[in-house]
Every structure is written in C-alpha cells, then in structure tokens.
Structure 1
Amino acid sequence: MYKNFFSDLTDTRLLFNWKKLKWDKRYRLIYTLQEKIYLTALQGNTIKMGRFQEMILTSLTAKLVVIKEVTHEMNYSFDLNTKIKLVLSLKWIDTVNLYSYWEQLNIEISYSIFSEVYYKSIRLLTFLLLEPQWEAYSEPCSFGSRSQSNKKDIVLFFANQIKQKKYDYLILGSYAYQLNATHIHLLKKKIHNTFLVKKCIANSLKSSLNDESGIKFNNDLFNAVLVNILTYGIKYYIANNKLIKALEFPNPSSLTNSFFCVSYRNYFGVFYSSHLTTQWFTHLLEYSFTRLNLRYLPTSYNLNVFPSSFNLLGFSFGLNRTSIKLIPTLNSQKKFIYQIRQVLYKKDFLGRTRGLTHLPLQDAIIRINPIISSWSCTYQMTNKSQCFEMLDEVINNTIYRWQIKKYKKNIRNKWISQCIRYINNQRRIAEGKHVLKLLKLECMKNKKYNLLYSHRSIYDQDKLYWVYRNELQK
C-alpha cells in the first residue's frame, strides 16, 4: 500500500498538480459542506449531518487544505514532495501505533516533527466538522458562546447592557481549562455523531493528552468548540431552576427579561435584576462547573454602585453614574509595548538585553507598523483618546532610546535632523519613505464597529451581511 502511495509516478503527478491547485475552490467546497452541516443540525437531521461530516473526513480536498494550513503555521520548511506524502498518509491511527506507522511510511522527517504535524492536522480536521454542528446547537439564551465570534462583540455587548440599565447586578468569572481524562469522558457522553465521526473525535481528544505532541492546549478555536460542548446545558439548567424562577420572575410575563447568560471562551457571566438571587446564582454556577471538573472563580458586581470597575478580555470597564470608561487594561498595554521592544531588542547568550544596532530604523518601522495597526483595530472601541496619546509617547521614547546607541555624539541634533518629520503639524518618526504610525490617528481612521447579533451565524448563508460586516472591520 505504501509503495503505491509514494511511487515516483504518483509523486510527479501530484507535484505538478499541487502547483496548479486552485485553493479558492478547495476552501469554498469545505465551506459549502460546513453550511450543509449547520443547516441539517438546525433541522435535527443527524443522519444527513453525519454524511456531510464523513465527506469532510474522507475527502482529499480537506486533507490538502489541512496540511497546507498546518505546514504554513510551522517554522519548518517542507518541500512539496514531503507535503504530498503527509497528505496521503493522513488517516486515523491510534496514538499508540503512531511510531510504527511513521516507520512504515519512510518519510524524510523526524518522528517528533511528523507527530506534531499529525496531531495538529487531526485537530484541525476535527474542528472543520464539529464547529458548524455546535454553532447550530448554541443556546438562544446566550451571547458570544460561538467559537467564530469576535471578542469585540462580547465587549461591546457588555457595554450596551450596562448602558441600557436592564439589569442591576452581574456575576462574572473565568474558569481554568486543561484537558484531562474526565473531560474526555464528559465530551464523549455529550457528542452524538456517527461511528466514524465519533472515532475521529476520540482520536483527536486522545492526541491532546499525548505528551509527544509538544502542543499545549491553548485558547484556540478548537479549544473553544470543546468548551462550548463541555458547558452546553448550563444556561438551561439555570433557567429551569425552580428557586431562581420563584425569586427572579414570579410573574410569567417577565420570564425573558429577568436574567441573561453570557459566555465567551473561558468566561461565563449572568446579568440579573434581584439581589436576593446573588447567592443562589453563585452556588449554581460553582456546582455546575465543579461537576464539569472546571475551576470557576466568580465575582459579583452591583451595577448601581459608582464608581466601580471590572476587567474583561483585555478591556477595563470603569462605571460612572452617567458614562462607561472603556480603556485597555494595564497588562494589555504592557504586552503591546513588549511586542515593539521585541523588534528592537534581543537576549544574548548570557540573558542580557541588547539593542539591535545593526537594524536600520526604516526596517524597524516596517515591522512595528503592523503591530500598531493590529492593536488599534482590537481596541478601536476605547472611548478615551488620552490612553492612545500616552502610548504614542511611550513608543516614541522606546525608539529614541534604542536609536541613542547609533548617535553617540550630538544625539538630539542628529535625531531631529534625520528621524523627525512634521506631517500635518504632528511630530512623526520617519526614515526614507516610511513613517511610523500613530495609535491615535489609526483609531480615528477605523470605522464604527458593528455588533454581531446573537442569532447570526457565519454559516447562515446571508453572504451580503458578512461581506458588509467584514468591510467595516478592516
């Protein structure tokens, strides 16, 4: 079998075809299958849904796309011949027998690299078939639980809920998540798919526990899907609790307005109206997450007491009587400055920080500008421009201190003459044709961000809505 896979004739044909592949059509085919999985899951037609999921599992198109994405993310340089062999050899192998399988393949890469590619590919392939299914299963009484949603949606939703003053109290907490055998057992009980899909999911979950993969389970999209599956049903459990019903909405007409559950990745919160239910909400949430083997740390906030503040996803909410102060947290600002310093400095063999004096300012500006653009796009909802002005000063001083080592005599005069320009009466750092971006100007350029409605899905076939939304996010 392996001789047929890796014959010279097969390699030559596939090498020629790989260069001529139309990747747009490949991605479009996978997306079409995901749309059908989403629609059949909404209809409750699990048999038809399982057929579409098996198409993704067994199709060569999905394997080509998965290997292309995984090898592109890795720092290793794979030639086309190796990529083709990885595509053809991608099948469901038990993690115990993976080493013997690698020996039989005779691929010219080490076992550690092969296992890393294999585990990442299996996870990505599992994500492609699970994500649209659980996108359809997301509870209608929640917001932000879907893995494809943007964190800016949930931040803006929190700000709007507090502004509208629908609810007087908030319980917000995060939980630690690290996959273990208990979680795998719970996930298997909640997943109802065909035999082949179940086998694939079990294989990918086992590979997540394998130390040889060298990959820690971080906050990626596949992890978000598993969290969504694991925590599925908590909101219904709270809504159907008889004591909460009696305390929160004794009148049936107020059923939908008494509390609202919010979740995003490893964050979970509840907006509610009555102070009497604070203790019961906390108890129910702690009990639910303990049963799921998750360590939940909730904190309750009174939205009518001023001033008060809380942090969520890198944003700091400062609550006043008439407004909300929404700014980046101090930790997110420090991480941003550290990213810029990584461009300008490095550690030597003794662990000392050394400036890259051989790096021209022009090249440094080319590397720093995308970091500034990305950060400004993430925090474009910040409503205090003083924060961006302060960060602009920090960035300018950081680059100035780095440049001091080049201009040891007449530092200030050389810096002003060679690296400072005034554009529209604003002091800018520049060299050649490249000008350093300013955070304040970047945020003013960004268009208004549109909130994603909780009932919208990327698979709902309303392409005009998603094209318009993507244009606004650029």
Structure 2
Amino acid sequence: MCKDLFNDLTDTRLLSNWKKVTWDKKYRLIYTLQEKIYLTALQGDTLKMGQFQEMILTSLTAKLVVIKEVTHGMNYSFDIKTKIQLALSLKWMNSVSLYSYWEQLNLEISYSTFSTVYYKSIRLLIFLFLEPQWEAYAEPCSFGSRSQSNKKDMIVYLANQIKQQPYNYFLLGSFTYQLKATHINLLIKKIHNTDLVKECIENYLRSSLNDESGTYSNNDLLNALLMNMLTHGIKYHLANNKLIKNLDAPKASSLTNSFFCVSYRNYLGIFYSKHLTTQWVMYLLEYSFTRLYLQYSPISYNLNSFPTAFNLLGFSFNVKSNYIKLTPTLNSQKKFIYQIRQVLYKKDFLGRTRGLTHLSLQEAIIKINPIISSWAWNYQIITKSKDLEMLDEIINNTIYRWQIKKYKKNIRNKWINQCIRYINNQRRIAEGKQVLKLLTLEYKKNQRYNILYSHRSIYDQDKLYWVYRSKLHK
C-alpha cells in the first residue's frame, strides 16, 4: 500500500464505511474459519486446513479486526483514518525494510508507534490461524495456550487428582523459555502448513529474535502457543515408554492410568505411583528438554507424607490426609496490596512515598473496585475465605491511613461520619454513590466454577456449553 490512495474522496468513503462496519459479523466470519481449521486439522486434511488459514492470513476482514483489537488496547489514541491506513497496509515485512515501508506510507504516527502496532498485529494474526490447528493437536490436560482456558483449570485438575488419591507421587517443575534460533529451527520442522503460511511464520519468528518493539512477553497467548508447540509430544513420549510402564504399572484390576500429566504454559506436572520411577522420569524429562534446548527443574513430592505443601501459579497447596487447603500465596497477596497502594500513593522526585491527597475517596474507590473484583475472580477456587477477610482489613486500614492525612482535627470522628456506612449490617467504606467492594462478598458471588475438561474445545460447536461458561466467568 505504498500508493497515495487516501485522497479526499476515498477519505470520506472509508471513514463513513468504518463507522458502519458490523463488527459482530466480522468476528463471526473469523470464528467460522477457525472452526473449519479445527475440524480439518482433526481429520488430518492439511490441504484444506492450509486453505482456510490462508483465508485468514490474506483477508481484509481479519486485518480490520486485528487493527481494531490492537489499537483499542493501546494508550495512544488513533483516528479512524489512521486505523484504515494501518489495516490496508498490513503485510508481511522484514524488520530491516520496515522503516522504509513506514516512510512510504506517510502515516501521521511515529515509527515507534507504527512498529509496535505492526508487530502486535502480526502476532495476533498468526495466533488467529495457528491456534485452532494446535487446539486440535493438543495433548490431554494442556492449558495456557488454548482459547477460554486459564490457570484455574490446571489448579482444579491438580486438586481433583490429589483428592482422588490414585497416585502416590507428584513431580512438578517449570522450564525457562526464550526464543532462540535453535528453537525456531525446531518449530519450523513441527509446522505442517502450506508454503505461504510456513514462510510467514518463519519470517516473523526470525524478525522477533531482535524484538526491538517491546511487544515480546512471556505471558501473551502466542508465546504460550509456541511453548506448547515446542514441547508437544513429551507427554506421549513418557506415556509410551515401556520401561516406566513396567516400573510404574498399576494393578491388573485397576483402571487407573500409569501416568497423569498436566501442563500450563511453562509448567509441567506428572503424577505416578512408585518412588522407583522418579529417577527414570527425571532422566527422560532432562533428556527431552535438553534436546529442545530448554532447562527443566522439577521437584518431587510424596502425596502420602502429610502435610505436603507446594506453590503453583499464585496458589498454595497444603495437602493433608483428609482435605486440601487451597489459598493465595503470600507473594500474590503482597502484589495485590501493592496494586491498591499504587492508586493511593506515588514516589516523588527524591524517591519518597507520598499520598495522592488531591484524589477524592470516591475517585479512589472507582479505581480500586475493579482491582478487587479481578483478584477475587482469579482466586474464586480457594477453599477458605479467612485470608480474604484479613485482606479486607488490610485494604480498609490502607485507605484509612491514606484518607486521614486530609484531616487535621477530630480525625476519627470525621472518618466515621464521612467515610463509613453500614450496609446489611456490614461496615463499609463509601463516599457519594461509590461503595468499596469486599473480597469476601465477591468470593461468595463467584463460588461456582465451571471447569474446562481437556476434551472440550471452543471450536467443538457446542455453543450452549461455552456461552454458559463465559457468562459464569464474567
């Protein structure tokens, strides 16, 4: 799109058409193509699968949706004309020629902003056509890179397996992952797509090695998908190893599998029955991850030795003989309180912590309530709410210590008269129409959790199940 296609006439037409775009239809079209990719990948028809992937790769609909999503999530405000120009000019470029391409487009944004939007858009576009393919190839109990899955699914799976007690030992570890040239070579060998799709993915991976745009993140979905692709096959390799099967085989009358593996992004957990199997499992994992140029550091836990405790993904497991206590870790609680303090305090030019006294209590509550709701939703599967009651007290005390700095006399009386209300016999902090949320009440609202089973997929056409799950988890 190097030509000057944006004259006064086309400007008027494009701007009016952008406002009339029915985005629901655009999203529905992309989802339909993703369903086709998923079904053809399950059937093993790589030719048709590649054709549907190329439709997403080259369609203007996908580019419009990608630009809309990326620009919406940035702090920079884009006008409609710039969004249209970005969508029409989105194509596969080498990082070397990206600057000259930006100069030819004559956009009204800086090169740093353009490069950030470009790399984020390409990452999202790759994820749109690659994720349904590897959703079909997903190994059992693999989470983190799949649509509509989150860390709570893995936590609930682990808790259920420990409660059922079919296994005696649990091996848990994580591996460090940073994209390198050797990883790209391994990924390209595993990608069985058309030449166009394969070339686009390879070009992007090569250019992302330098990653000057700052869009690379260990937590984004594409990176999680690449990790899943890279480690794909390790679970099958362990399950089909004859030596470990003979060492760890259950009783002939038992229907329990010899192994149970569960993974979330760079975490891998393995349940097994006999202590003798530990060294062989660790040896196989070390061999497998070394071949992938990854470092895996596992720790073995005896589930029959009580109490057994370990931390995973912000949750603390305390395994006892008759129950499992699932609580937020101390670090996650500290980060949560720090998030709230960031709303109320800031550092001055000397590095001293100063309260934002210009901020009213009502404005502070508006900013803090979404943080409380989000944290309560993330930890809705904990077993007891005593920790939440303690956190509510800490939050109230934090706001109290910040608010009383505005008073010079009769501090306590002013605080009680102006900032305290009793709602349903509960003491609440409030000002105006805004009432501070309580973690305990949010926890009671979100106690129901619809677990994602490993055989279910967002593309399996069971619309009722996924609509119910999405509504329940809002």
Tell me the residue number matched to 1:314: 314
Q: Which moved more, 1:127-136 or 1:266-275?
A: 266-275
Partner of 1:403, secondary structure, is helix
The alpha-carbon deviation at position 214 of structure 1 amounts to: 2.2
Query: Counterpart amino acid of 1:167?
Result: Y
Number of residues paired by the alignment? 473
Query: Counterpart amino acid of 2:344?
Result: L
Tell me the residue number matched to 1:226: 226
Partner of 2:182, secondary structure, is helix
The alpha-carbon deviation at position 407 of structure 1 amounts to: 1.0
The alpha-carbon deviation at position 256 of structure 1 amounts to: 5.7
Quick check: 1:123 aligned with 2:123? Answer: yes
Counterparts of residues 59-458 of structure 1 (less than 5 Å) = 59-140=59-140, 142-144=141-143, 146-148=145-147, 149-249=149-249, 257-458=257-458
Distance 1:365 1:461, change over 3 A: same
CA contact (8 A) 2:168 2:273 kept: yes
For residues 440 and 287 of structure 1, what CA distance do their matches in structure 2 show? 46
The alpha-carbon deviation at position 447 of structure 1 amounts to: 4.0
Partner of 2:86, secondary structure, is helix
The alpha-carbon deviation at position 188 of structure 1 amounts to: 0.6
For residues 131 and 442 of structure 1, what CA distance do their matches in structure 2 show? 33
For residues 136 and 453 of structure 1, what CA distance do their matches in structure 2 show? 14
For residues 432 and 324 of structure 1, what CA distance do their matches in structure 2 show? 42
CA contact (8 A) 2:337 2:395 kept: yes
For residues 132 and 165 of structure 2, what CA distance do their matches in structure 1 show? 34
Partner of 1:298, secondary structure, is strand
The alpha-carbon deviation at position 442 of structure 1 amounts to: 1.0
CA contact (8 A) 1:168 1:302 kept: yes
Tell me the residue number matched to 2:37: 37
For residues 217 and 203 of structure 2, what CA distance do their matches in structure 1 show? 15
Query: Counterpart amino acid of 1:147?
Result: R
The alpha-carbon deviation at position 266 of structure 1 amounts to: 0.8
Q: Which moved more, 1:425-434 or 1:225-234?
A: 425-434
CA contact (8 A) 1:138 1:145 kept: no
For residues 232 and 198 of structure 1, what CA distance do their matches in structure 2 show? 18
The alpha-carbon deviation at position 212 of structure 1 amounts to: 2.3
The alpha-carbon deviation at position 62 of structure 1 amounts to: 0.3
CA contact (8 A) 2:145 2:222 kept: no
Tell me the residue number matched to 1:471: 471
Query: Counterpart amino acid of 1:409?
Result: K
The alpha-carbon deviation at position 351 of structure 1 amounts to: 2.3
For residues 84 and 253 of structure 1, what CA distance do their matches in structure 2 show? 65
* Structure 2, unaligned runs of 5 or more: none
State the Cα RMSD in Å: 1.5
Distance 1:6 1:252, change over 3 A: farther
Scaled by the length of structure 1, the TM-score of the pair is: 0.97
The alpha-carbon deviation at position 243 of structure 1 amounts to: 1.2
Q: Which moved more, 1:349-358 or 1:458-467?
A: 349-358
Partner of 1:209, secondary structure, is coil
For residues 9 and 256 of structure 2, what CA distance do their matches in structure 1 show? 65
Q: Which moved more, 1:47-56 or 1:206-215?
A: 206-215
Partner of 1:275, secondary structure, is coil
The alpha-carbon deviation at position 2 of structure 1 amounts to: 2.6
For residues 224 and 9 of structure 1, what CA distance do their matches in structure 2 show? 44
Query: Counterpart amino acid of 1:144?
Result: F
Query: Counterpart amino acid of 2:167?
Result: Y
For residues 216 and 50 of structure 1, what CA distance do their matches in structure 2 show? 26
For residues 261 and 135 of structure 2, what CA distance do their matches in structure 1 show? 17
For residues 328 and 467 of structure 1, what CA distance do their matches in structure 2 show? 28
CA distances 1:296-328 after superposition (whole Å, capped 9, x unpaired)? 110000000001101111100001111111000
Distance 1:255 1:195, change over 3 A: farther
CA contact (8 A) 2:250 2:257 kept: no
Tell me the residue number matched to 1:22: 22
CA contact (8 A) 2:218 2:224 kept: no
Scaled by the length of structure 2, the TM-score of the pair is: 0.97
Distance 1:253 1:46, change over 3 A: farther
Partner of 2:427, secondary structure, is strand
CA distances 1:441-460 after superposition (whole Å, capped 9, x unpaired)? 11112241121111000111
For residues 61 and 252 of structure 2, what CA distance do their matches in structure 1 show? 52
For residues 173 and 373 of structure 1, what CA distance do their matches in structure 2 show? 30
Query: Counterpart amino acid of 2:274?
Result: S
The alpha-carbon deviation at position 3 of structure 1 amounts to: 2.6
Partner of 1:96, secondary structure, is coil
Q: Which moved more, 1:288-297 or 1:28-37?
A: 288-297
For residues 58 and 42 of structure 1, what CA distance do their matches in structure 2 show? 23
The alpha-carbon deviation at position 250 of structure 1 amounts to: 7.5
For residues 115 and 301 of structure 2, what CA distance do their matches in structure 1 show? 46
* Structure 1, unaligned runs of 5 or more: none
For residues 296 and 6 of structure 1, what CA distance do their matches in structure 2 show? 53
For residues 350 and 64 of structure 1, what CA distance do their matches in structure 2 show? 46
For residues 146 and 112 of structure 1, what CA distance do their matches in structure 2 show? 28
Partner of 2:219, secondary structure, is coil
For residues 252 and 223 of structure 1, what CA distance do their matches in structure 2 show? 42
Q: Which moved more, 1:392-401 or 1:216-225?
A: 216-225
For residues 170 and 237 of structure 2, what CA distance do their matches in structure 1 show? 18
Distance 1:414 1:13, change over 3 A: same
Partner of 1:114, secondary structure, is helix
The alpha-carbon deviation at position 342 of structure 1 amounts to: 1.0
For residues 203 and 72 of structure 2, what CA distance do their matches in structure 1 show? 23
CA contact (8 A) 2:245 2:258 kept: no
CA contact (8 A) 2:144 2:151 kept: no
CA distances 1:373-426 after superposition (whole Å, capped 9, x unpaired)? 111111111112110110000000000010121012111111011111111221
CA contact (8 A) 2:187 2:230 kept: yes
Q: Which moved more, 1:10-19 or 1:254-263?
A: 254-263
